[in-house]
Amino acid sequence: FENMERQLHLNLLASRPPMAGGFQSGSKMKMRPGRKRDFSPLPWSQYFETIEDVEVENENGKDISLTCASCQEKILGSHGPVLLLLHGGGHSALSWAVFTAVICSRINCRVVAMDLRAHGDTKVKNPDDLSADTMAKDIGKVVEVLYGENPPPIMIIGHSMGGAIAVHTAAANHVPSLLGLCVIDVVEGTAMDALNSMQNFLRSRPKTFKSLENAIEWSVKSGQIRNMESARVSMGGQVKKCEESTTSPGVSNSISEGIIEEEEDEEVEEESNKKRMKEDDQEMKKESFFTWRVELSKTEKYWEGWFRGLSALFLTCPAPKLLLLAGVDRLDKDLTIGQMQGKFQMQVLPQCGHAVHEDAPEKVADALATFMVRHKFTEFKEGCLW
C-alpha cells in the first residue's frame, strides 16, 4: 500500500430532514405535448445538510477528504444506524439524494453518501488507481476518521460498481461495526458478460454538453435516469464545466441525435427560443461546455477486479444481506443457489433502469426499511404509514 496518494479527496454527504410534504420521487414523468419540462439543476443542499473537510491519515502523510455531516447526528444527537452509500461508476454521492430524503422519512437512521475515489468532487494524487482493494481501504479509512475506534452500527449500501466495492469492503472487514450489506443491481455473471460491450456503450454517449441543463435533458430522454427529480440533482456530480480560450472542436451544441423533442405552445416556444439564444450567446462568450468528470473507458483494467469472484465473496459475508435487482434475469448460478439456500434476501424491482435507486427511490427505500426493521437494526419512524 506504499503507493497510496497523499491527496485523497472523498466527498461524503449526509442527510437533511425530509422536506414538508415529502418528495414526488416515485412519480413518473409525463410526456405531455405543450408542457415545458424543467431540466434546471437542483441544489445538493435541498437534500443534504453540510459539507465538511476530513483529514485521513496514512503512512505517507495526510489525505484530504470531504464530508457532509448528518444533521441528525450533529443537532439531534446520534440516533439510528449509519447508512453508508456507495455510488456506481461515473456517478457521485448526489446519486443518492432523493433516496436519502425518502429513507430518512421511513426509519430512524443517519446517512453518509461518499464520492468514491476520482469521482464527484474528489481530488486524488493518483486518480487512475481504482482497484477494488484501494477503494475498499479508502472506505475503511473514512469510517475510522469519522467515528474513531468505536463506530456506530453501519449498513453499507452500494450500487453497481459501488455494490462491488461494498462487498470487497465487507469481506476485508474494513468496517468492524458492519450491520448489514445491501447490493443494488450488480451480479458477477451479468457484470462480467456486460464488460465486452461496455466500451461501445461509453463511446455512444455524447462527449460534451453545452450546459448542465443539456446534460440533465440527455440523461432523462436517453433513459439513463428515469426520474426527473433525481436527474436534476445527480447529473451535476457526473459532469463538470470546462472553459477554453478557443472553441473546442467536437463540442456539441445539442444533445445526442435521435432524441425526439416535445412540442411546445407557440408562446412558450418563442420565450424558450429567446432564452436559448441568450444562453448560447453567454456560452459563446465564455466558450465553456460540460464534459464527464470520469473517463470510465480508462478504468477498464480494473473492471474485472471489481466483479470477478463477487458472488462467492458476497455469499461468504456473515452479515445479513439484501440484493435488489432490476430484473430476475440478472441472477447468476452461485447467487441462484445461495438464494435458494436462504443465504440472502432478494427483491426484484421491475420497470426500473440500472440506476434503480434513482429511478424508484421510494421502492428501494421501502425494501431497505422493511429489511432493516425485520432484522431489528432500527425502527420505523412514528407516523410512517405502511
Ranges 16-30, 39-53, 274-288: which has the least confidence? 16-30
* H or E stretch at 356: helix 356-359
In the predicted structure, residue 27 carries a pLDDT above the cut 70: no
Residue with cell 496518494: 5
Is residue 46 classed exposed, middle or buried when 0-12, 13-18 and 19+ CB atoms within 10 A define those classes? Answer: middle
User: What is the mean predicted confidence (pLDDT) over 244-269?
Assistant: 44
Ranges 48-62, 87-101, 183-197: which has the least confidence? 48-62
Fill in the amino acid letter for 313: L
Task: Report the alpha-carbon distance of residue 240 to residue 294 in Å, rounded.
Answer: 9
Domain 46-204+303-375 grouped into CATH 3.40.190.100: no
Return the pLDDT at 145: 85
For residue 334, indicate whether it is catalytic: no
Residue-wise pLDDT tens digits, 332-348: 889 999 999 999 999 99
**Identified catalytic residue from 119, 168, 354, 357:** 354
What confidence tier does 128 reach under pLDDT thresholds 50, 70, 90?
confident
User: What is the mean predicted confidence (pLDDT) over 350-374?
Assistant: 95
Phi/psi-derived region of residue 367, left when phi > 0, alpha when psi is between -120 and 50, beta in every other case: alpha
Domain range summary for the chain, segments of one domain joined by +: 46-204+303-375
In the predicted structure, residue 275 carries a pLDDT above the cut 80: no
For residue 354, indicate whether it is catalytic: yes
Return the pLDDT at 52: 67
**Identified catalytic residue from 185, 211, 230, 311:** 185
Task: Report the alpha-carbon distance of residue 380 to residue 384 in Å, rounded.
Answer: 7
For residue 9, indicate whether it is catalytic: no
Return the pLDDT at 350: 87
Return the pLDDT at 327: 83
What confidence tier does 319 reach under pLDDT thresholds 50, 70, 90?
very high
Fill in the amino acid letter for 307: F
Q: Confirm if 215 and 90 have CB atoms less than 8 A apart.
A: no
Q: 278 versus 346: which is more confidently predicted?
A: 346
Return the SS3 of 166.
helix
Is residue 41 classed exposed, middle or buried when 0-12, 13-18 and 19+ CB atoms within 10 A define those classes? Answer: middle
In the predicted structure, residue 249 carries a pLDDT above the cut 80: no
C-alpha cell of 381? 419512524
> What rounded mean pLDDT belongs to the chain?
80
In the predicted structure, residue 262 carries a pLDDT above the cut 70: no
**Identified catalytic residue from 95, 160, 211, 230:** 160
